[in-house]
Amino acid sequence: MRLSSSVFAAVCLLIELLGIALFLRGFFPVPIKSSLSTKSKLSDLPAEPHAGSSQPNSTKVPSPLFKRVVIVLIDALREDFVFGPNGKRFMPYTRHIVERGSSHSFIAKARPPTVTMPRIKVSLKMNRILFMYPTVSSELSLCTWTEFPFHLFIFSSPANPPPSMVVKCVCALSVLVLCCFDTCRVLQESEGSLPNLLVLCGDHGMSETGSHGGSSEPEVSTPLVLISPAFQRKDCSHPGVVEQVDLPPTLALALALPISQNSVGRLIPAMFEEASLREQLRFFHINGHQLSSLLRDSNPNFHKEDGYEQFRVAEKAHGNWMKLYMEGNASEVLGNMGKKVLKQYLEALQAMSAALSKHQCKKSLFQGILKSFYWSVHQEILEQCKGPFLTLI
Domain span holding position 105: 64-255
234 three-state secondary structure: coil
Taking only the tens place, the pLDDT of each residue in 239-255 is 999 999 999 999 999 99
Residue 70 is part of a domain; what is its CATH number? 3.40.720.10
361 part of a folded domain: no
Taking only the tens place, the pLDDT of each residue in 187-234 is 665 566 788 898 988 888 887 777 666 778 888 899 999 988 888 877
* Among 33-47, 83-97, 313-327, 376-390, the least confident range: 376-390
pLDDT at 293 over 80: yes
149 part of a folded domain: yes
145 part of a folded domain: yes
pLDDT at 36 over 60: no
188 part of a folded domain: yes
Split at pLDDT 50, 70, 90, the class of 159 is: very low
199 three-state secondary structure: strand
Taking only the tens place, the pLDDT of each residue in 48-84 is 897 554 554 566 788 899 988 888 888 888 898 888 8
Cα separations (Å) of 382 from 5, 18, 37, 42, 219?
13, 15, 47, 58, 35
- Whole-model pTM above 0.85? no
217 part of a folded domain: yes
In angstroms, how far is the first alpha carbon of the chain from the final one?
Answer: 29
Of 106, 103, 391, whose CA–CA distance to 273 is shortest? 103
224 part of a folded domain: yes
Task: Please state, rounded to an integer, the average pLDDT across all residues of the chain.
Answer: 76
391 part of a folded domain: no
pLDDT at 94 (0 to 100)? 82
CB of 31 within 8 A of CB of 126?
yes
Taking only the tens place, the pLDDT of each residue in 221-239 is 999 999 888 888 776 667 9
103 part of a folded domain: yes
Check residue 276 and report its DSSP letter. -
How many domains are contained in the chain?
1
